[in-house]
Chains A and B, each alone.
Chain A
Amino acid sequence: MKRLGNNRNLTGLLFVSPWIIGFLVFTAFPLLYSLFLSFQEVKITTDGIKTNFVSFGNYEYAFSVDGTFVDRVLKYLEEMVISVPIIIVFSLIIALLLNQKIKFRGLFRTIFFLPVIIASGPVIKELIDQGITTIPSIEQYAIYQALSDNPDGFFNGILLYLIKNLIVILWYSGVQILIFLAALQKMDKQIFEAAKIDGASNWEFFWKITLPSLTPMIIVNLIYTIVTYSVFSLNPIIEHIQKNMFKVNTGYGYASALSWIYFLIIAAALAIAVGVMTVKRKKKYT
């Protein structure tokens, strides 16, 4: 009996072994190696790569000398803080709408998922260049003009950003809508009926039952949104890292440091987002 157990153990490992090898070779080792590189000055010579230990030099350079990087990180964070909640709320609303008894649900679902298929970096860039990603003919409205006359204010900046990129922001929400919709459709109809009998209105039902039971899905969507938003190829930080990778005076070492800083920022953003959601959830139940 014990032998059979061992056997199963081994077969299981055999099945997952491609992944383990791949993880070690293509993920774990590169991860450590780029961490190592981030503390080095890397020179590419004819006999290979020469490294020179510079301690935290690259990291100091990123925050003190390289103004572009800090600027872009701040802008990225600002845009993410604005966009991510909008994407989540918007996809939740769409999912709620699609969850009603409506005709053509399939058609609408197809439309809302379409951007996931075609939204590659160059296509989005082309659309932004053509100015198609704004609300149609928004320039004619007085609000827009009032806003663009003084774009320095905090709220004005946010609103302008929203107006200019509304369609792109909405285009990010295809997968999230489907995740919410799938969760909504799996909800037990009996709870709804029971709440109805107890006299709960739709409004109360949404806030007290639907939303709390969706919290895990909100967390999943938060993670998904932040990750896809951060690794999208139009992201200016990614562009900056790539540029530094092939620059002579900065090179691989500095680019590695930048990518590690970026990685840590993403991880921190994820931790904060998930943390906020779980704290909120606990409060509700106590």
Chain B
Amino acid sequence: MQTKTQQVNKYYLKTKRMFLGMQGTDGLLYKLLIYGLLVGIGFVYLYPLLYMGVYSFKSLDDLLNPLVNWIPTQFYTGNYEQANKVLNFFSTLMETLYVTVLPALAQTAVAAVVGYGLARFDFRGKKIMFVLVLATFIIPPQVTLIPRYIFFNELNILGSLSAFLLPATFGQGLNSAIFILIFYQFFRAVPKALEEAAQLDGAGHFRIFFTIALPMALPAIIISFLFSFVWYWNETYLAAIYFGDALTTLPLQLQKFVATYQQMFPAEMGVSGGNQLNEGIKMAGTVLSILPLLIVYFITQRWFVEGVDRSGITGE
């Protein structure tokens, strides 16, 4: 009798161990729970993207057919053809790159210089400046928007790239504070020895910066550039106000998608379908407008993830 209960107990313990694990973190049940949660939440994250992708390939028949849900009956690319026309994809893409890459470059360059200055030199008012840099992050752009608008209007640079480029060149672009912080943390973590050696050899501060510090900061440069590229790309509020009708970007075109479509393909009275704007075309437009970013992200995602580490906000 005694042995039997012991036996049962042993099996019980064994199975318990298998499911719950020794320490509570290596059991099968625990693993299942974690993977289940991650996959479930991951699905919720990707759901809009999947939906967009699927709907953009649906022909009108598939859209109207309630039986066709996730798999279109045919590989229909007509939506993309129309969305391409409405967005004027390639020329808009070029324009978008023009208004995002250049400010991103300027922003990265100036953040590197300022970050280096903050990390390597002591000067009066450095602490105050540091606080001000961080403060610029919480000032909503709306507050400075109107004076900047008036100012740019007087300089006659509204509707040109300079409206983005000029603030970026002076460290007041989108989220400049974060980039300055990234470079500040980076340069602080780099040992000074190399620079001191160069100094003994008679190199000036600027030469040291350009020939020694900057090449070492390549990871920080890539991270800053990518983040500011993405943020400038997604900025529609300031772009709409500063650029007016003179310059456009893919997100801005997407914003006007319905209006542009109706202008290009005026609805024919009484004819249903055919020319009408449908979900599929809209989704194709959305996919087209984020596709370049997705490609950039999947090539460079390692840098994005590292970027958060590098900003040093987690404290070293």
Contacts and interface: CB of A to CB of B under 8 A. Distances in A.
A132 B147 contact: no
Interface stretch (B72-80, B131-139, B216-224): B131-139
B129 A20 contact: yes
B85 to A, nearest CB: 18
Interface in B203-252: 205, 209, 230, 233-237, 241, 251-252
Q: For the side of the interface on A, what is the size category?
A: 35 or more
B189 interface: no
B48, B235, B251, B315 interface centre (most CB from chain A within 10 Å) = B48
A263 B140 contact: yes
Interface in B160-174: 166-167, 169-172
B110 interface: yes
Contacts of A113: 301, 304-305
Q: Is the interface of B mostly helix, strand, loop or mixed?
A: helix
A29 B151 CA distance: 11
Contact of A122 (B47, B49, B251, B304): B251
Nearest to B174: A231
Contacts of B264: none
A11 B133 CA distance: 19
Given A22-B167, A27-B139, A179-B314, A118 B146 contact: no
B292 to A, nearest CB: 10
B118 to A, nearest CB: 6
A23 B171 contact: yes
A233 interface: yes
B44 A123 contact: no
25 contacts: A12-B123, A18-B114, A18-B171, A19-B110, A23-B172, A26-B172, A34-B143, A49-B150, A94-B41, A110-B298, A112-B42, A113-B301, A113-B305, A114-B45, A114-B297, A117-B297, A122-B251, A126-B257, A126-B282, A126-B283, A127-B286, A132-B47, A178-B305, A259-B145, A263-B140
Interface of A: 8-16, 18-23, 25-27, 29-31, 33-34, 37, 49, 94, 97-98, 100-102, 106, 108-123, 125-127, 130, 132-133, 135-136, 166-167, 170-171, 175, 178-179, 182-183, 186, 196, 201-202, 216-217, 220, 223, 227, 230-231, 233, 238, 241-242, 245, 252, 255-256, 259-260, 262-263, 266-267, 270
